Amino acid sequence: MLKVDKVCTYYGKVMALHEVSFEIGQDEIVSIIGANGAGKSTLMKSIMGTVPIKSGSIQFEGKEISKQKPHVNVKNGIVYVPEGREIFPNLTVKENLEMGAFCRNYSSKKINELYEECYEMFPKLKERQKQQAGSLSGGEQQMLAIARGLMSEPKLIMFDEPSLGLAPVIVDEVFDIIVKLQQAKHIPVVLVEQNAFMALSISNRAYVLENGVVSLSGQSSELLNMPSVKEAYLGG
């Protein structure tokens, strides 16, 4: 589905990714774990086209997309729910959802069906649909960001640190929803996390990023039991 091959990305002269390769197939959850500053978000931005890559290739459904603009990638079905949610604070919850479908020319009937689908998955958003998104709690904003991402019916969805800054109970809820939506929609999900334990427990496969390099990859269940991973990412 998505194939990243030997991608190098620089910020000016500073290297952020070095020959990173990773792959995700139809119907799986793949997590990318790594410490703060390892290059996880940079990898996501490289895929989206938000930051240009220096070398390597990125293919989506067999087509090269490494030079494509972010808005084109979204239209082609790659949705990125960014770190820090980035909702539109001065729009209402419902307007935020509407913007999620901006790149599609859905009929109003279709849009309403999609709203209902979102509200079913996130009942809290329904209660707050007329509220300004900026007034939601952190957890609710994350739910909104996820729901907004689903509005354009993506073929692939990528979550960047969805658990960041949330209370532990809410974190459970967010991961629960990610698993549920993957099971319901059967789309590939990329999950970027510093919360390695959670990410490894819900994903099929995982990659470990360290200083811009993939240092380890494999089945999540195997990584969970590796001493080196345990020590570095799971608190020993």
Residues contributing to the site for ligand ADP (CB under 6 A): 11, 14, 16, 34, 36-42
Min dist CB 70 to other proteins, Å, is 4
Q: Of the ranges 91-99, 121-129, 162-170, 186-194, which one interacts with other proteins (CB under 8 A)?
A: 91-99
- In one letter, which amino acid is 111? I
Instruction: Say which entry of Mg ion, ligand ADP, other proteins, none residue 48 contacts (CB below 5 to 8 A, set by partner kind).
Output: other proteins
Whichever of 51 and 199 has its CB closer to other proteins, that residue is 51
Work out whether 99 is an interface residue with other proteins (CB under 8 A): yes
Member of 13, 62, 63, 90 binding other proteins (CB under 8 A): 90
Q: Of the ranges 63-71, 119-127, 166-174, 210-218, which one interacts with other proteins (CB under 8 A)?
A: 63-71
Min dist CB 69 to other proteins, Å, is 7
Write the burial class of residue 185 (CB in 10 Å: 0-12 exposed, 13-18 middle, 19+ buried). Answer: middle
Min dist CB 158 to ligand ADP, Å, is 12
Min dist CB 14 to ligand ADP, Å, is 6
Write the burial class of residue 177 (CB in 10 Å: 0-12 exposed, 13-18 middle, 19+ buried). Answer: middle
Helix (H) or strand (E) holding 213: strand 213-219
Structure-token pair, residue 157: 């969805």
Asked whether 81 and 96 are in contact (CB, 8 A), the reply is no
Residues 130-149 that bind other proteins (CB under 8 A): 148
Instruction: Say which entry of ligand ADP, other proteins, Mg ion, none residue 87 contacts (CB below 5 to 8 A, set by partner kind).
Output: other proteins
Instruction: Say which entry of other proteins, Mg ion, ligand ADP, none residue 75 contacts (CB below 5 to 8 A, set by partner kind).
Output: other proteins
User: Which pairs from 10-15 meet CB under 8 Å and 24+ separation?
Assistant: 10/54, 11/42, 11/51, 15/212
Asked whether 81 and 157 are in contact (CB, 8 A), the reply is yes
Work out whether 107 is an interface residue with other proteins (CB under 8 A): no
Residues 6+ positions from 156 with CB-CB distance below 8 Å: 1, 2, 24, 60, 77, 78, 79, 187, 188, 189, 190
Whichever of 70 and 226 has its CB closer to other proteins, that residue is 70
* DSSP line for 111-142: HHHHHHHHHHH-HHHHHTTTSBGGGS-HHHHH
| Interface ranges with Mg ion (CB under 5 A) | 40-41, 83
- Residues interacting with other proteins, by CB under 8 A? 48, 50, 69-71, 74-75, 79-80, 82, 86-91, 95, 98-100, 102-103, 148, 152
